[in-house]
Chain A
Amino acid sequence: MELLDPVILLQFLIGGLLAGALYALLACGLNLVFGVMRVINVAHAEFMLIGAFIAYVLYKWLGLHPVVALLVTVPAVFLLGVVVQRLLIERVVGRPLLTSLLATYALSIILVNLGLLIFASDYRAVPVMQGSLAFGDIVIPKPRAAAALVSIVITVSVYLFLGRTRLGKAIRAVSEHAQVAQICGIDVVRIRMLTFGLAAAMAAAAGVMLTMIYSFSPESGADFTQKCFAIIIIGGMGNFLGALYGGILLGVVESFVGGFVSTQWAEATAYLLLVLVLLIRPTGLTGIADAR
């Protein structure tokens, strides 16, 4: 195989863009939460897995297609996120960053091990939409195309929601300056509940689409947590668009590393990128982060 063949390069690029769209969907929620409440949610990838396992159960019991399962899963995990925010995260908002970091770390431990109790550590997948779309020499597996499409639709919708609606503007206002937002009459506690629900729901949507592409177990979150952190550090913490760029960049770099070096190194890409960016620019490549 000639690696520098333009067709193959294009193939890598498209593969990377498709994976990147899914990563972006996952990481945007994490950044939204950090922006609005200055909490680094280490359990973010576990909400993705909750989405994945709901989709898996719906497929096993009812034969529901993951794309259809989105309609059930996303609202359900949104509500779960609101409850988690109300009962747990709200209590650590405003406390030192390390407190919320350890609290969400605890949440992630609890969720992973409850997952292990219920589902054991077996790997699972939802084998639907087999086959590929071919455009000339370029081949795109159908599930990846569907996952990328859904990811783009959701991410763009959330972006428009944040930019165009009153509620979205309120979220941005709280992100900008919580105290001033409160003085202006915004119910900050409600906005935080909405934000965490939204972030959890976005992660869950990514998880539902993930079931068609990868096999996963309750312990799969760690890899994605790593990727998420690489993405938001690259894109700038708290910056919604930054997560979008970072996600796409990680997807493309992983795809090329996987193609040119090895798939095992592709797995390490996120960690290496994370450490590299932290060393060069601890505040991320685009955004400014509150590094306290």
Chain B
Amino acid sequence: MPARQMLLAALLVGLALVIPQFASDYYVSFLLQLLMMVALAQSWNLISGMTGYVSFGHAAFFGIGAYAGTLLLQGGSPWWLTVLEAGAIAGLVSVPLGLLTLRLRGPYFAIAMLGLNEVGRAIATLWVDVTRGGNGITISPAILPSLSSNYYTMLLLAAAVTALTAWVYHRRFGLELRAIREDEGAAEMVGVNTTRNKLTAFVLSALVPGAVGTVYAFYTSYVNPSSVFSPALNIQMIVMVILGGSGTVWGPVLGATLVMILRELLWANFPALHLAAVGGLLLLCMLFLPGGLLSLGQSRRRLRAELAKGGGSG
């Protein structure tokens, strides 16, 4: 990662570390949710942004993590261990799922994933013995970690997955993932193990939402099928990445911040209006700006560089 971006990352993390010292709980809550969105967007980016395999059901892993974490915590597991365990469980679930669906080429994969979140919600609703169905599970406040613990865990997860993305982006692995996105057949031809790469990216992209889902369950102290297998979250994950710039390191961070600010303005009174606006943003992006907002800056920089070069020769 270039030094300037490192500096920006250090600055953002430092800011996020000190803010709870003087901000009110309201702002800490807002930031916690923002960090959650960054972590989720970054996870989706790992599989869908990098490889072009659009997962339309990624909130399912968030839901699995939220339920697994809630049940484990009630079973007596310490909260910090629970976060790791829930992430691992979501990762484990993603292995057979990925083995089945990643054999399909892009559009068919997208269609197969389209109902995954709804399937998760249906299972959570019907498996009453374990999940208590639509009533949901309330976690006793006595065993819950504090707001600041949740906040710092979320910060750690968001920073970790962003760092992971940056690391992957500049490695051979990241290059191979993007080669799959550009032309899977050609990538295979030059010796990229596409199946293994796709599966690795898919499992990585499921681990983090699992852990994040658990922290979210701790934060709200309550899970029910539609709050964690949430259609809204499913939509937001996708839009944040496309809006910011899919397949990039900073795009998901930018997109998550914008969608959260929009949500802060609209959500309280008009959740449907917020989602309609989010849908509108996605549509505008697909029609006019497929590379997301970050591509604006890049193309300007490239133009300037070309102009400078042209000026030198002429």
Contacts and interface: CB of A to CB of B under 8 A. Distances in A.
Contacts of B112: 274-275, 278
A222 B118 contact: yes
A110 interface: yes
A88 B287 CA distance: 8
Contacts of A109: 235, 275-276, 278-279, 282
Contact of B290 (A99, A222, A267, A292): A99
A282 interface: yes
Contacts of B286: 92, 99, 102-103, 106
B276 A282 contact: no
Nearest to B48: A98
A113 B100 CA distance: 32
A268 B119 contact: yes
A83 B182 CA distance: 32
B50 to A, nearest CB: 13
B132 interface: no
B54 A222 contact: no
A4 interface: no
Interface in B47-66: 52, 54, 56
Contacts of B81: none
B78 interface: no
A31 interface: no
A226 interface: yes
Nearest to A113: B276
A101 B105 CA distance: 14
B258 interface: no
A268 B283 contact: no
A264 interface: yes
A140 B119 CA distance: 31
B275 A113 contact: yes
Contacts, number: 104
Interface string B165-187: 00000000000000000000000
Contacts of B111: 40, 229, 233, 274, 278
Contact of B54 (A101, A112, A267, A291): A101
Contacts of A282: 104-105, 108
Nearest to B287: A91
A225 B114 CA distance: 9
The winner among B235, B239, B283 for most chain A CB atoms within 10 A is B283
A102 B282 contact: yes
B143 interface: no
A93 B286 CA distance: 12
Nearest to A91: B287
B107 to A, nearest CB: 5
B110 interface: yes
A285 interface: no
Given A40-B111, A88-B283, A226-B118, A105 B103 contact: no
B278 A101 contact: no
Contacts of A97: 106-107
A277 to B, nearest CB: 10
18 contacts: A88-B287, A105-B56, A106-B279, A109-B275, A109-B278, A110-B276, A110-B279, A117-B270, A117-B272, A219-B231, A225-B114, A226-B114, A229-B111, A233-B108, A264-B122, A268-B119, A274-B111, A291-B108
Interface of B: 52, 54, 56, 100-101, 103-108, 110-112, 114-115, 118-119, 122, 126, 231, 235, 238-239, 242, 270, 272-273, 275-276, 278-280, 282-283, 286-287, 290
Nearest 8 interchain pairs by C-beta: A109-B279, A106-B283, A113-B276, A106-B282, A116-B272, A110-B279, A103-B286, A113-B272
Given A106-B282, A117-B270, 6 more contacts: A102-B286, A108-B279, A113-B272, A117-B272, A222-B231, A291-B107
